[in-house]
Amino acid sequence: MAQPKFAQIKQYIIGKIKSGEWAENSRVASENELAEQFSVSRMTARRALSELTDAGILSRTQGLGTFVASFKSQSNLLEIRNIADEIKERGSEHKCIPEILESMPAIAPIAIALGVEQDSLVYRSVLVHLENGTPIQVEERFVNPAFAPGYLQQNFEQVTPHEYLCEVAPLTEARHTVEAIMPSPQISQWLSLFNEEPCLQVIRRTWSSNGVVSFTRLISPGSKYRLGGHLTFKR
């Protein structure tokens, strides 16, 4: 099946960026130029540019044009998304390395976060997510076994915790906080940080209709990751 024209334009732009022909912050072809080059309407060209902008690959400034965005990976603060999907949308390859998969007694802060009794059994996973072979996020997740009894048996190199939990305990609510931290030596090792640098930490709790499903820490190098979002206000 032939690839849609807007998808061809997206692959063309991603190819130019990957090859280095279009460097970070350089201006990319306009809607009119792309429409003429690919023999499509401006609307089709606009869709390609808009989807790449939403994915954090491009940035658009009214009156100035469209530019290659910073090469930091970007996650949307306003959405709960699967990191594997975000990375693939940027035209990159996602890989996950499970570092820890275990059951453990819930210490007081974890018990409170998950709404379970202290010392009751909870699941813990620590995964490192890579984009094109570069570590960009450590995900430490505590899970209530009542909602995901098969959690530790999953192959997280093939399916992310987000995907699995959305299947067995569909997300109904989430709350998160964001702060800058200095990473521990272990986090620095997992993220391949050889020089001391601040990291971005997102603390997130997720609920299903029956209660708190997971409590998660997402830690990313400040030099390689950013959070963004877009709000539209009704007049």
* pLDDT tens digits along 21-49: 888 778 888 899 999 999 999 999 999 88
Give the mean model confidence (pLDDT) for residues 202-224.
88
Q: Does residue 100 have a pLDDT over 70?
A: yes
> Which two tokens mark 179?
């702060």
Q: How many CB atoms lie within 10 A of CB 137?
A: 25
Q: What per-residue confidence (pLDDT) applies to 222? A: 81
Average pLDDT, the chain: 85
233 belongs to a structural domain: no
Q: Tell whether 111 and 220 lie within a shared domain.
A: yes
Q: Tell whether 60 and 82 lie within a shared domain.
A: no
Q: Tell whether 21 and 84 lie within a shared domain.
A: no
Q: Tell whether 85 and 63 lie within a shared domain.
A: no
What is the layout of strands, in order, in the sheet containing 94-105?
Answer: 94-105, 121-131, 134-143, 211-221, 199-208, 173-181
pLDDT tens digits along 146-170: 999 999 999 999 999 999 999 999 8
Half-sphere exposure of 65 (CA within 13 A, CB side): 12
CA dist 138 and 180 (Å) reads 14
CA dist 216 and 83 (Å) reads 14
Q: How many CB atoms lie within 10 A of CB 181?
A: 13
Helix (H) or strand (E) holding 108: helix 108-114
Q: What per-residue confidence (pLDDT) applies to 155? A: 96
Question: Cα 190 to the chain's mean position, in Å?
Answer: 17
Whole-model pTM? 0.66
pLDDT category of residue 143 using cuts at 50, 70 and 90: very high
Q: Does residue 130 have a pLDDT over 70?
A: yes
Residue-range definition of the domain harbouring residue 152: 73-228
Cα–Cα nearest to 27, from 73, 72, 61: 61
Worst-scoring range by mean pLDDT, 95-99, 112-116, 163-167? 112-116
What is the number of domains present in the chain?
2
Q: What per-residue confidence (pLDDT) applies to 232? A: 42
> Which two tokens mark 148?
């995901």
pLDDT category of residue 227 using cuts at 50, 70 and 90: low
Percentages helix, strand, coil for the chain, rounded to the nearest 5? 30, 35, 35
Give the mean model confidence (pLDDT) for residues 98-105.
96
Query: Please, are residues 230 and 78 in contact by the beta-carbon 8 Å criterion?
Result: yes
**33: which strand partners?**
none
Q: Tell whether 44 and 78 lie within a shared domain.
A: no
